[in-house]
Amino acid sequence: MNVDQPTIVRHQVPPSLRGVIVGIVGHDDVAPPGGRARIQPASSLLILEISLTSPLHIRPLHAGLDADVAHRTFLAGLSTAPVQTVFFGRHTSIQIYLSPMGAYQLLGIPGTETARIVASADELVPQWAHDLADRMTDFTNWPQRFAAVDRELVRHAGIEFAADPLVTWAWNELQLSGGQVRVGELAQRSGWSVRHLGQLFKTVTGVSLKEVARLIRFEHIHAELGAWQLSDVAQRHGLSDQSHLCREVLQFSGETPLSLSTSRRPTAFTALGVQPGDFGYALRNHT
């Protein structure tokens, strides 16, 4: 293993879980003496993590999230704030990436109760998560672990908590537009008022339509940093100027565009091996 970069093992999501689960990866990393810290930019995907070794500590970079937390099995809710992750020794985990609608269907908990926090899965869904990490440690290789996770997810991903199709449609449109579609236009195309659409959306995701649009736009910007001049990136994504772009990047990543583009921060998309645009079209194909 390269001691500076984690080993990522990608697992194909079973057909019955597509539309609920965006992706599943195995993660294996070794920290130097004193631990390893990384900055994690904000993401439009939630993460359900099952730690098989030492837990991951998650610390806020600024206001908006709870203080340092560490759980063996946890859900990182939808948030517009970057965080710092820290671990010691070896950290091996299974990371399950979910859209807010997928998290709602899997856990039966609205985003208003999970957004902007990192919560113990043992407390969120004790009926099946209380010993999940312990059961995963019984397996010695990734195929066995992934097969066990698939069985758990298929068993619990019912349809009784399926999100309103209007929310799923709005989410997909935001993803497919790179966060550039206006909320008023979305509402007009949906046939509902801005208020009605916004309330439905926030109940499921826990975050407003406007905030999610900005977050998704940031993800597209992040993917292009270093490949274009900043002024060109700003123009491509509907920002007024380079200063506007710098403010957006700082809010969602905690860094300047130059620092973010050279640091190669891990994101949901690098873990899953896709680009933000690819993710949007994947959503369309599975809804």
Q: Are 263 and 253 in contact (CB under 8 A)?
A: no
CATH number at residue 66: 2.60.120.10
- Residues in the chain predicted with pLDDT less than 70, given as ranges, are 1-4, 62-67, 158-160, 277-287
CA 167 centroid distance within chain: 17
pLDDT digit string (tens) for 226-255? 888 999 999 999 999 999 999 999 999 999
Per the structure, the complete domain to which residue 177 belongs is given by 165-285
**What does DSSP say about strands 69-71 and 56-60: parallel, antiparallel, or unpaired?**
antiparallel
User: Are 80 and 11 within one domain?
Assistant: yes
With respect to residue 2, please indicate whether it lies within any of the assigned structural domains: no
Starting at the earlier edge strand, list the strands of the sheet with 21-30: 7-11, 21-30, 90-98, 46-51, 73-76, 118-120
pLDDT confidence of residue 277 = 67
pLDDT confidence of residue 12 = 94
State the Cα–Cα distance between residues 70 and 285, nearest whole angstrom.
35
User: Are 14 and 142 within one domain?
Assistant: yes
With respect to residue 1, please indicate whether it lies within any of the assigned structural domains: no
Q: Are 111 and 161 in contact (CB under 8 A)?
A: no
Q: Are 136 and 190 in contact (CB under 8 A)?
A: no
User: Are 93 and 111 within one domain?
Assistant: yes
pLDDT confidence of residue 284 = 45
pLDDT digit string (tens) for 69-90? 888 899 999 999 999 999 999 9
Residue 222: how many CA atoms within 13 Å on its side-chain side? Answer: 33
User: Are 106 and 176 within one domain?
Assistant: no
b/e sequence 232-250, b meaning 16+ C-beta within 10 Å: ebbeebebeebeebbebbe
